[in-house]
Amino acid sequence: MNFLIKILYFISKLPLKILYIFSDIIFFLNYYFVGYRKIVITRNLRNSFPEKTEDEIREIRKNFYHNFSDYLVETVKSFSISETESRVRMQHINQDVFHDAKAEGKNIILLAGHVFNWEWINALAKTLPQAHCHPVYRKVNSDFWENQMKKVRNKFGNEALEANEVIRNILRNKNNGDSIYMFVADQTPHSASVTYGLEFLNQRTPVFIGYDKLATRLDLAFIYCEMKKVKRGYYQVNYQRIYPDGEKFVDHEVVKKFHKLLENTLHKRPDNYLWSHRKWKYQDSIKEYDSEKI
């Protein structure tokens, strides 16, 4: 394993223009020969965009494979990317929302989707007034990859938390505007944990609602990350505060508003989403379904 770590780190030190050559090779092999989750990706796209033609679906799918290949090499680059290069390649827009939450004395729940490249958001921690930034991650079966990805997410002063630890951490810590919890919030709950679903991208969609429960219990600030791929190797994140319609959030309000914002993002650039993600595999497990259009 130590040898593999050294190989990965050596590869990560290569310039991105070299790594993108690897990306092009990965794309060619994957798109034309391997077809990684091609059936899942095609079904997800057809169900999400029923108004699009088959030619449009094929074009989105092909561009997705390009972006997915870039995501893979960019994730490897995360092992050694410097703070300076990260800031150049990931531009963070509208950071006033973080200063506003700090002034209000409210800790922040940051909500992002599986939009490329969410792995490069970590350097945000170095630019904000909050002292503690906690990327939230799901434990993986491989101890090796668990340790490596935790190291990546702990760069730039972050303090990564496994998903099972985060609620306890939020409830234990003082709500004083000094902490940020960074969720990739479109995760698919396990079939045994599916309690609520809504209509998202024209489909019955089981959704994770842990952060939504926090919205009704604690006076937190919720911020949406709209990720945009400007060009190869360069991204922008626009941060948008999510406010309640009334004095405070009601049940399922935050989860619905997050998915509405994410849906708007995906309509702008549908090829930049992780369509191989099996978000809809537990549709039949939904116990409470909100059929209202988000």
Q: Identify which has the larger pLDDT, 123 or 132.
A: 132
- Model confidence at 240: pLDDT above 70: yes
Contact 237, 26 (CB under 8 A): no
| Tens digit of each residue's pLDDT (9 = 90 or more) over 8-34 | 889 999 999 999 999 999 999 999 999
Across the range 123-146, mean pLDDT stands at: 86
| Tens digit of each residue's pLDDT (9 = 90 or more) over 32-54 | 999 999 999 999 999 999 999 99
CA quadruple 142, 143, 144, 147: dihedral positive or negative?
positive
Choose among 184, 182, 183: nearest CA to 156: 182
**CB-facing half-sphere around the CA of 106: CA atoms within 13 A:** 19
Contact 105, 175 (CB under 8 A): yes
Torsion of CA 116, 17, 63, 294, to 10 degrees: 20
Across the range 82-96, mean pLDDT stands at: 95
pLDDT reported for residue 154: 87
Residue 161: burial class (beta carbons within 10 Å; 0-12, 13-18, 19+): buried
- Across the chain, mean pLDDT equals 94
pLDDT reported for residue 1: 61
Q: How many domains does the chain have?
A: 1
- Model confidence at 145: pLDDT above 80: no
pLDDT reported for residue 74: 97
Print the domain residue range for 179: 2-290
Contact 285, 191 (CB under 8 A): yes
Query: 3-class DSSP state for residue 124?
Result: helix
Query: 3-class DSSP state for residue 230?
Result: strand
